Each structure stands twice: as structure tokens, then as C-alpha cells.
Structure 1
Amino acid sequence: MLTTPRRRFAGSRTLTTSLALAASVVLTATPVAGAQSITQADGTIAVSSLGATNDIPGSVAGSLGSLSTPAYADYVALGDSYAAFGDQTEPVVTDGPAARCGRSLTNYPNVLDVNTAIGELADATCGGAVTEDIFEEQHSGVAPQIDALDSDTDLVTLSIGGNDVGFGAIVECISGGAPGAPLDCRGQLDDQVSTAIANVFGKVGAVDKVYAAIKQRSPGATVIATQYLPLLPASNEDGCQFTQFIGVDNLNWAREVTARINDAVNAAAVRNGHVSVLPVDTTVDRSACGEADERWTDFTGGAPTNAYPMHPTSLGQQAMAQAIAAAI
């Protein structure tokens, strides 16, 4: 039993309602002193030693230096809600078909674009995107994401594949039980998830086709894949009421699945000649169980982080932008 839950809810009924709402949403300046870019054994570029400041990682202005001419003149961001979402009050597009994508001014493409080393940004990200949405209209009137690329594009970031694997179904399962009676999500979904990871991220899989299309349209571009910021704390001992609700078995399984997906994101990037990034911070709990002003992700969204349920906070998007800046 966890003794120090970091986030408190009014009660089990309130928590259950909040999780149901969260599942429904899923389905549908100066760098910090001491921050280091570390290339891990698997090829992942991790930004660590970020410290406990609430400004992590700042505006990322300065990570690439102050340049009169951008090092990357034409930046295109492709991907799903982990790249599109941020602060709910800061949408980029509020009318027309693209408003359904939920692109936020505090998502990592826009945070990265503040840097003077980055030129023009075309943010093609869209909440709920799967790999086929890179090539097809996700919503009527919204161009396929791949259309944002051309031969002048020199920087591409990519967050894709999580929805293909079934992130929404995973969230729905782990949050779908009753207090004290969680569902057996490993038994229900693990085979399906394993097959999906292989099909989506494996050799000649759906993500490889995305990389091939990027290379064809923008052969000179630097391509950075972004891994998925974990919702769950690294240790069961750092849990909160949400992790108690879903149960130890589901907690362990969901943590394993997150690691497997991120490993697959990285393997696909490396196989195609690119790198993936993931910000890390060993000094503070940045999971959705962490203190509200320190979280990189959030379970239920809304106040106080103003994030979307089961997605990165604006602070998490800043951290991802810093990791990308360190990689390029």
C-alpha cells in the first residue's frame, strides 16, 4: 500500500469518473544549468540532470546558440497528440477543420520554434493521429501530414505509432475496473499489443513507411523521433491514488508497455538512420503522480496543470523541446 499519494481526489467515485473522462479523450529562453545530452547505448538521446526547477527546460533559446541565420530554416512537425497537445488554453488553430487537431502554442514544435536557430515552422501534428494519417486526411479538409514536407524541409520531428499500438485501449482497460477490482489488462491486451508493436515499428512496418516517405520528400532533412513521456512513476513506491486504483499488476504491465513502445520508437529511428529523444529527470518525479507544478504528464487533465487527460503538460512539452534541441 502506498503511503504518500501525491495527488488527492475527492473519493473513489470522483476518481472513477475522472478516469472515464480521461479514457474518452485519449480515444478520440535559457537552458537549465547542468543539463546534459547523453547518447545511451540504444541510441536514444536523453537530456538528464535537469534539476528541480519549475522552469525545466526553459524556452530552449540558447541550446542551439544565438544565430542571425537559422541553422534549420524549414521545420516540419509530424505526429499525434503527444506532439500536438499542450496547455488547453493555447490552441494554434481555433476555427476550420484543423481546429479538431488540438494543436497548442505550448506543444514542443512551437516551443522549439522559439529558438533563433529554427526558422519557419509548419506544425502538421494532430491529436488522435495514426500512421495512415501521415498519408491521408485525418479530418475532412485537413491535408495529409506528409504534404507539409518538401525538398526545402531541413528539420522534421516525428511522434507516431502509439495510437496504432492501441494507447487508447490500454488506458481504457487500466482505468476501467472498480476500486479494489482492477481488470486483467495484461491477460486481455498483451498479445494484441505485442503484435501491434511488431507490425507498426518492425522492419518494413508502418513507421518505416513514414520514414521512407520523409526521405523521398525531404532527402536532406534531419529527422528526430520523439518517444512517449511516461505517465507512470518509475517505482511503485512513488505512486498516487491513480496507481493504487489500477492495481500493482496493471501498473507494472503498463510501465512495461510504455518501455516496449519507446524501445520500438528508438529502434525504428536508428534503423532508418535517425535518432530518438526522451527527456529524463532523476531528481524529481516528473510522472503524472508528481507534484502538479513538476509533472511532465497528467492523468485527468484540467486544473491545475491545464493539460489534456493522459497527455504531456506544457512543462513536459518544454522538456521534449529541450531534448530535441540537445540532439540537433
Structure 2
Amino acid sequence: MTTIVRRTHPRRRRGTTIGARRAGIVSAIVILIALSAPLISTPTAAALPPGLNYVALGDSRAAGSLPAFEPANGCWQSSVSYPRVLARSIGPHSFVDRSCAGAWAANITHLPENGPFGPIPPQIRWVTRSTDLVTISIGGNDLNWGAIAGRCTTQVPGGDARCRTNGAHLAAADRSLNHMTAVMDSAVRAVRAAAAPHARIVIVGHGGVIGTRGCWPFVPASDADARWMNSFMTKVNAAQARIAQRYDAAFIDVMRRSVGHDPCAAQPWFEGTVPRSLAVSGHPNEIGMAKIAEWIRTQVR
């Protein structure tokens, strides 16, 4: 079921992981959803012109994090995700959110996704010649970031997995980066072809979940391995920025903008292996979602 928001003076509302083995923790958090409430106010200044038709595409980074997960469009989507925060901020003529947790680049272009409530059509079907703004968060699953980062984690505080010196691991990470670049290029090319020539396309980069040091248990890696992951994520963002430039899209450098707010920071905008707020590990928390919405609004003025 497609989510449409019509512009009728909307009310203001308060408004890839390091190791899948923490699924039990995430499950416990889900149980607490009903007790949670948005903590961050929606950005107020509308920098975009009114009357836009906005379509949001992507994976769980776009579909949102806890709290306030709600099933929509066949996926779990959060009311505090950055597309919804942005939509409430700019008051578009129409808003369609097709982002879905677990999405791959192919789920944007041609491959139906196996969602929790049944098959989900390719997301690009909702991009038309009347679409004015498209945001895209994709590539983390194609990159297999969870496995790349998981190889760098340690079982005990102070441990060192030395993933940075493992030749097989480094080669596999580079192969994954090349694959992600190819399939993401195809996805953005297809979106550009489907949208009107004037449509604004915004690619939201990766980052924020790794700084330059480890901190048990939030980032269970040595400082040296954390620095390697940080440098690898820099390469990921560089590849995505080139894709954005190729298809006349804006690029949100989440990694650069979020320096000092990784999971080891005193005020994290992103959650680590063990979340410190009601949010999914390895994803933006509510503050991070609000920040991304603000960056997009400013970028596409």
C-alpha cells in the first residue's frame, strides 16, 4: 500500500551493522517499541519550493530505525526515518516512501523483494515523469558490509582481529566494493531515466557507524582495525559520489558530516553493535535521521 501525503497544512509532529550476532538485542528493543516516542523535533525551515512530488527509495537506512516502527507498503518503516522527517518539513504535494529494510540495488530496478508481508514490487515503479525529488539510500547490502565489518570484530575487550592485515579479507572487500559500484550505478541510471529531466536525485552516502577507534562493546574492534574500516568506508563514499556526479545527482557525504558522532562518541548519531538508544544497530538513530533530512533539504535548495 503506497503512502501518500497531500499538502493540506500538515500538522507538525515531534519528531551496515558490525555483526549480525546481536540480533537478540535488536529483538528485545523491538518489544519496547510500543513504549517509545519520538525524541527529536522535525526541522522547521522549508528550504525546498512547495508542491514537490517526492519519492523515497532505498534500504533500511532510509526505511528508518527505532523507535516507532510501523508496517507500511509491505515493509517496516519508521515515522522518524529521514524521508518522513524531510516530507513533514517540506510539505510536498505528494510523498511516496518505497524504502524497505533489506533492499538490494536490484530491488530498486527490477527484482521484487521478499518482504515480511509478501513480495514487494521494484521500487522504481513509483518514479514517474511527474516526480520532482528522489532520495536514494542503497548499496550496504550489495556491499555485504555486515560481513566485512564482522571480520574485524573481537570477542573480548582489547582484542585485535587484525582484519587490516588479512590479505584474503582485503581482496574480498575490494571485490564487494566493485560489485556494489556496478549495481548501484545501474540503479541510479535507471532512476534518472525514469524521472523527468528536471527531477532532483539525492544519493545518501554511507558512514557514521565507524570512527577512527574502537570502543567495547559499541564498536568491538581494535583502533587499528577501526581505522581500516573507516578508510574503506571512505572508498565506498568516493565510489558513490562518482555515481552521483555521473547522473547529475546530489551526494550527501554522511561520513564527513558526522565526524565526531560515531557510536564511540559522547553524542552518537549512529548506533554500534550494541545500541545505546532505541535504534537498530549499525543505523542512524533518531538524531541521525533528523540530521540527514536536514542535510538533504540544505543540499537541494
Task: State whether TM-score is above 0.5.
Answer: yes
| Change in CA separation of 1:317 and 1:285 when aligned onto 2, cut-off 3 Å | same
Aligned runs of 1:12-23 on 2, under 5 Å? 20-21=21-22
Deviation at 1:217, TM superposition (A): 1.6
Deviation (angstroms), 1:178:
4.2
Alignment match, 1:133: 107
Q: What is the letter of the counterpart of residue 141 of structure 1?
A: P
Q: Where do residues 215-254 of structure 1 align in structure 2 (5 Å cutoff)?
A: 215-220=192-197, 221-233=199-211, 235-236=212-213, 240-242=215-217, 245-254=220-229
Q: Which residue in 2 is equivalent to 1:62?
A: 45
Is the Cα contact below 8 Å between 1:23 and 1:172 reproduced in 2? no
C-alpha distance in structure 1 between counterparts of 2:177 and 2:129, whole Å? 31
* Mapped partners of 1:163, 1:322: distance in 2: 25
- 1:288 Cα deviation from its structure 2 partner: 0.8
Match of 1:295 in 2: 268
User: 1:1-328 alignment to 2 at 5 Å?
Assistant: 20-21=21-22, 59-64=42-47, 69-70=50-51, 72=52, 74-86=53-65, 88-93=66-71, 98=74, 101-134=75-108, 135-139=110-114, 140-175=118-153, 177-186=155-164, 187=166, 188-201=168-181, 205-220=182-197, 221-233=199-211, 235-236=212-213, 240-242=215-217, 245-279=220-254, 285-291=260-266, 294-300=267-273, 302=275, 304-328=276-300
Equivalent residue letter for 1:211: V
TM-score by length of structure 1 reads 0.72
Q: CA deviation at 1:80?
A: 1.1
Structure 2 unpaired stretches of 5+: 1-18, 27-38
Deviation at 1:157, TM superposition (A): 0.5
TM-score (normalizing by structure 2): 0.77
Shift of 1:240: 2.8
- Structure 1 pair 243/300, CA: closer, same or farther in 2 (3 Å)? closer
Matched-pair contact (CA < 8 Å) for 2:208–2:262: yes
Give the stretch that moved more between structures: 176-185 or 160-169. Answer: 176-185
Would you say the 8 A contact 1:64–1:326 is kept in 2? yes
Paired letter, 2:44: A
Q: How many Å apart are 1:290 and its aligned residue?
A: 1.8
State the distance in 2 between where 1:287 and 1:276 align: 20
The number of residue pairs the alignment matches comes to 262
In structure 2, the CA distance between the partners of 1:120 and 1:217, relative to structure 1 (3 Å rule), is same
Identity %: 24
Moved over 6 A (4+): none
Quick one: higher RCO (CA 8 Å, sep 6+), 1 or 2? 1
Distance in 1 separating the partners of 2:131 and 2:98: 13
**What is the CA–CA distance in structure 2 between the aligned matches of 1:23 and 1:144, rounded to whole Å?**
30
User: Cα deviations across residues 281-328 of structure 1 (Å, max 9, x unaligned)?
Assistant: 58x83111122xx321011455x4211011110110111001100111
Confirm or deny: 8 A CA contact 2:217 2:273 kept in the other structure.
no
Q: In structure 2, what is the Cα distance between the partners aligned to 1:163 and 1:92?
A: 22
Given that 1:20 and 1:175 are in contact with CA atoms closer than 8 Å, whether structure 2 keeps it comes out as: no
Distance in 2 (alpha carbons) for counterparts of 1:224 and 1:147: 18
Conserved in 2, the CA contact under 8 Å of 1:20 and 1:172?
Answer: no
Write the distance in 2 (CA, Å) between the matches of 1:251 and 1:116: 37
